[in-house]
Amino acid sequence: MKTHQISAEHLSIERIGEIINEGYKLELGSDARQRITHCREYLDRKIAESEVPIYGVTTGFGSLCKISISEDQLSQLQINLMMSHACGIGERVSNEIVKIMLLLKIQSLSYGYSGSKLDTVERLIDFFNNDIYPIVYRQGSVGASGDLVPLAHLCLPLCGLGDVEYQGKCMSGAEVTKMMGWEPIRLASKEGLALLNGTQNMSAHAVWALIKAKRLIDWGDSIAAMSLEAYDGRIEPFTLAVHTVRPHKGQIDTANRMRELLEGSQLIKQPKVNVQDPYSFRCIPQVHGTVKDTYDYVKSVIDTEINSATDNPTVCPDEDLIISAGNFHGEPIALPMDFLCIAMNELGSISERRTYKLVSGTRDLPSFLVAKPGVNSGFMIPQYTAAAIASQSKTLCMPASADTIPTSQGQEDHVSMGANAATKLVQVIDNTERILAIELFNAAQALEFRRPLKSSPVIEKLHADYRQVVPFIDDDQIMYPHIAVSVKFLQEH
């Protein structure tokens, strides 16, 4: 069994991918235990000694911050907060993203600036390690006081409330607590706020998107290389000298990768009739490269976010400070998520254009990539599907972070809408994967019409692997199963 120890050690996007995909279990390191306990003991002393109200600890929340709460009601205040904030609606957040949410919430609480009790953090770990997935809904967070609504749904089951999915079955938090032989967590002062404040819903979506986007960006180059070969494209636009005079990192990296992918190709070396290629081929380094540069920027921001404490108030025992501020605000990651959404849309958009060129009946390719067009529609309609998906992605590129609607009677008067940016990003990532799968479907078909000439060993290996699951299409047949298999091929290779 692989174990990841929660500690002050930097948590990278790549490490999260390993933890989630390879079935790691979590455990608290001794330093994390010490920080959590130290902070909680400090907070308890401060509550006992202080005559001044402490926001969210001995007061109400949001615009109710002026109402002080008596000591005997502090625990009820926290559970009421959890119940009243569980107002999610719409589609469920996927279990994979929910598991990342659990990991990020555990990581954030482990820094010892939140005031959570040790048993609360350990119960979150129990949920993670036993693959108990709280049922969280996509709609409800404005991304400002943290992800209040989705995090309420994430954490209610700790207290025997809310709903979960366990071993493929949906059940109540009370049922799973009893099944596991646990007692519901009794929240102490400030704990409900520590669990609900924070950006773990937005951040988990962003982490999932970055992990998947990295694979799709790599696929984008490989599939584009196959399409270029099938379209009888030119190698000159990838010459290093062209890119050293405009030395954007992603552009240079993409030109280098395209040359590597095409090394040893017979097709790329044959004399070309066409003097120029369309932009969707000629400008692959400029477009794919910009997507890569955007990815790197967004990754750097999310990397900082997931290694931060983002709830409120911030409890700093060593400085003897409890400060109500704004670390829960989603703005630092809302704008970058919108940026990545636009970039991944562009990766899909240029892919759809290459698909269109392949079916257009030019450069000695048959119309719609079938030997007998007319009686056969061939690959006419997969391009329609790619166009429809690409168009939907474009509509999703309106930046969610450009909007704000005041909440909590105007106390929370500027919000990030980062959760909407996050869910849109996930949808565009999925859309881009489908568009690339359709391009591969077309490119593999088109490449067959260039025989007996061969592409490079790398592209021929990709083509051979793909042909193990998707056949050459001689005559019309039902296409959607082949598209579905193409998507699965990208996910598994």
My answer on whether omega of the bond before 150 falls inside 30° of 0, hence cis, is: no
- With 0-12 / 13-18 / 19 or more C-beta atoms within 10 angstroms meaning exposed / middle / buried, residue 52 is exposed
CB 166 within 8 A of CB 132: yes
Record the tokens describing residue 47, joined without a space: 């509550």
Q: CB neighbours of 68 closer than 8 A, spacing ≥ 6?
A: 53, 58, 59
My answer on whether omega of the bond before 313 falls inside 30° of 0, hence cis, is: yes
In whole angstroms, what is the distance from residue 376 CA to residue 120 CA? 63
Amino acid at 493: H
Side-chain-side CA neighbours of residue 218 (13 Å): 8
In whole angstroms, what is the distance from residue 250 CA to residue 60 CA? 49
Burial of 77-90, coded b for 16+ CB within 10 Å and e otherwise, reads bbbebbeebbebee
In whole angstroms, what is the distance from residue 337 CA to residue 331 CA? 10
CA dihedral over 336, 342, 344, 347, signed as positive or negative = negative
CB 359 within 8 A of CB 379: yes
CB 458 within 8 A of CB 229: no
Record the tokens describing residue 285, joined without a space: 């380094």
Task: Identify whether 55 is a catalytic site residue.
Answer: yes
Left, alpha or beta for 168 (phi > 0: left; psi -120 to 50: alpha)? left
Beta-bridge mates of residue 407: 412
In whole angstroms, what is the distance from residue 337 CA to residue 345 CA? 12
Backbone angles phi, psi at 419, to 5 degrees: -65, -35
Torsion of CA 295, 301, 304, 310, to 10 degrees: -130
Interhelix angle for 418-448 vs 331-358, to 10°? 20
CA 458 to chain CA centroid, nearest Å: 29
Amino acid at 309: A
Annotated catalytic residue: which of 55, 113, 231, 466? 55
Helices (H) and strands (E) in the chain, counts: 18, 9
Q: Known catalytic residues?
A: 55
